[in-house]
Amino acid sequence: MKFLLRCKPDTKKPPTGKKVAIIGAGPAGLGAAGILLCNGHEVHIYDALPEPGGLLMFGIPPFRIPRENVREGIRELVDAGAKFFTSTFVYCGEKPHEHEALLLAKDYVSLEELVGKYDAVIITTGTWKSRSLGVPGENLPGVYKALDYLFRIYAHQLGYLPKEKVYPTGRKVLVVGAGLTAVDAALEAREQGAEKIVVAYRRTINEAPAGRKTIETELIAKGIEFRELINPVAFLGRDRVERVRFVKMRLGPPDKSGRPAPEPIPGSEFEEEFDTVLIAAGEIATPPGKCLGIEFNPDGTIKVNEKMMTTRRGVFAAGDVVTGPSLIGKALGSGMRAAQFVDEFLR
């Protein structure tokens, strides 16, 4: 994430007198900032977290994305004139009461206010909300969302969250899912001292979103068990999770995603003891809320036109809040493209 500024300081275009607000300091927002600064615009970036970087700092292990590389790229933006408003939650419509990012937010500002103050706004708030499985016992202590589990560990490591806010890792850990978040959660559970870690996936390793090679080299080769074709149907326990009830699965015809659809095998249920469950069933878009006539797609992502403008003139959106969960490079590129359309709009 170094070299976010897409020009040399002496090749920046002269100031345009235009001001742009970016909501979200993750890959898409940072990528947009680098383009806008080079084109001479004043850029203010708002983020609910206490340090810019989004998931690059607070959700992805530092062995994948070195934190100092992210900080170096952010320093480039600051030196070029970017102004960051951290620990500032931007909301749209009703002020939020429950949101993952509220844990470290201190200030609140409405999107309506920002739209009135800036010549253009780009929403790049990503996908911070984790999907639930919707099975009994999911609210038991010891059952956590994998992204929230990672977020609290890294926020503590960075000095922003006290140790008591970090979820404890038990001895026997189940991770549900097979994407990169599931892989990272399993590896982190091992770092936190778990003795047994099982990653359960309802399809096979060939359909794993993280990829077969990643599962084999980062999990199986390191002694973490990967089990195919099983799915939890209940989390059981009195005061906290103690056991998980599974059902065995088989693959049927392809679903809308084009992958074989998993189907439960009747009468195949079994139980196993676990004291921690980390659910990594995917994330969904987390826009600031509903206001200003901004429309959404059925999956909750923000609707944009071919120039990445929302249904509110002058308000653009980019990154995972538009596409759904994606890789860092795709989100970064989306933010850069949106910035080019914003520059065109301002001129």
pLDDT per residue over 212-259, tens digit each? 999 999 999 999 999 999 999 999 999 999 999 999 999 999 988 788
| Gap between the Cα atoms of 323 and 62, Å rounded | 25
- Report residue 8's pLDDT band, with 50, 70 and 90 as the boundaries: confident
Rounded to 5°, angle at Cα 222 from 140 and 236: 15
Structure tokens at 97: 């009461």
Q: Give the pair of three-digit tokens for residue 301.
A: 């992502």
Give the per-residue pLDDT at 100.
61
Q: Name the token pair of 63.
A: 């062995």
Q: What's the chain's average pLDDT?
A: 95
Q: Check pLDDT > 80 for residue 2.
A: no
Assigned token pair, 254: 């392809």
271-327 pLDDT per residue, tens: 999 999 999 999 999 999 999 999 999 999 999 999 999 999 999 999 999 999 999
Amino acid at 160: Y
Q: Token match 């059952």: residue?
A: 143
Q: Quick one: which H or E segment has residue 154?
A: helix 146-157
What residues form DSSP beta bridges with 279? 145, 176
| Contact indicator for 43, 80 with CB cutoff of 8 Å | no
Give the contacts of 216 (CB within 8 A, at least 6 positions apart).
205
Measured CA to CA, the distance from residue 78 to residue 179 in angstroms comes to: 34
pTM of the model: 0.95
270 phi and psi angles, rounded to 5 deg: -150, 165
Buried b (16+ CB within 10 A) or exposed e, 44-81: bbbbbbbbbbbbbbbbbbeeebebeebbebbebbeebb
Beta bridge partners of 296: 302
Residue 340 has pLDDT above 80, yes or no: yes
Q: Is 41 helix (H, G, I), strand (E, B) or coil?
A: coil
Diameter over CA atoms, the chain: 70
In degrees, rounded to 5, the angle at the alpha carbon of residue 216 between the alpha carbons of residues 242 and 173 is 10
For 213, other C-beta atoms within 10 Å of its C-beta total 10
User: How do beta strands 196-200 and 225-227 pair?
Assistant: parallel
Cα separation, 119 vs 116, whole angstroms: 8
Q: Which two tokens stand for residue 107?
A: 């200030």
Angle, to 10 degrees, between the axis of helix 27-38 and the axis of helix 328-346?
40
For residue range 173-222, list pLDDT tens digits in order: 999 999 999 999 999 999 999 999 999 999 999 999 999 999 999 999 99
Cβ atoms 13, 40 nearer than 8 A = yes
Backbone angles phi and psi of 31, in degrees to 5: -65, -40
Phi first, then psi: what are they for 315, rounded to 5°? -110, 120
- pLDDT exceeds cutoff 80 at 99: no
Distance CA(325)–CA(288), nearest Å, equals 17
Question: CA 45 from chain center: how many Å?
Answer: 18
User: Taking 70 as the threshold, does the pLDDT of residue 98 lie above it?
Assistant: no
130 pLDDT tier (thresholds 50, 70, 90): very high
| pLDDT for residue 220 | 97
Domains parsed from the chain with CATH numbers: 9-128+284-346 (3.50.50.60), 132-279 (3.50.50.60)
